Amino acid sequence: MAGPMKMRATILGGNTEVRVLITHPMTTVQPLHFIQNVTVKHNGRTVVESEISQAVSRNPVFSFRLKGGAKGDRIEVSWLDNKGESNKIESAVA
Amino acid sequence: MDTIRRSLAAALGVLLVKPLAALAAWNNQAFGAKSAADALKSLGASTPAPSKEIAIEAPQIAENGAVVPIEITSHLPGTTSIAVLIEKNPFPLAGKFDFKEGALPFVKLNVKMGESSDVRVIAVAGGRHYVATKEIKVTIGGCGG
Average pLDDT of the segment spanning B27-52: 96
Domain that holds residue A44: 5-92
Closest by CA position to B53, among listed B136, B135, B129, B137: B129
User: How far apart are the CA of B37 and the nearest CA of chain A, in angstroms?
Assistant: 17
pLDDT digits (tens, 9 = 90+) for B124-138: 999 999 999 999 999
A24, A60, A78, A84, B35 from A36: Cα distances, Å: 12, 12, 11, 9, 20
Quick: pLDDT tens for B86-129: 999 999 999 999 999 999 999 999 999 999 999 999 999 999 99
What are the pLDDT digits (tens) for B42-54? 999 999 999 999 9
Q: Which of B96, B109, B144 sits opposite A60 (nearest CB)?
A: B109
Q: Which amino acid is at B92?
A: P
Instruction: Please tell me which residue, B92 or B8, carries the higher pLDDT value.
Output: B92
Beta bridge partners of residue B140, listed in sequence order: B64
Q: For the domain B33-138, what is the CATH superfamily, name and number?
A: SoxY domain (2.60.40.2470)
pLDDT grade for B10, boundaries at 50, 70 and 90: low
Q: With 0.80 as the threshold, say if the pTM is over it.
A: yes
The number of folded domains in chain A is 1
Q: What is the CATH number of the domain that holds A69?
A: 2.60.40.10
pLDDT in tens, A5-62: 999 999 999 999 999 999 999 999 889 999 999 999 999 999 999 999 999 999 999 9
B4 contacts chain A (CB < 8 A): no
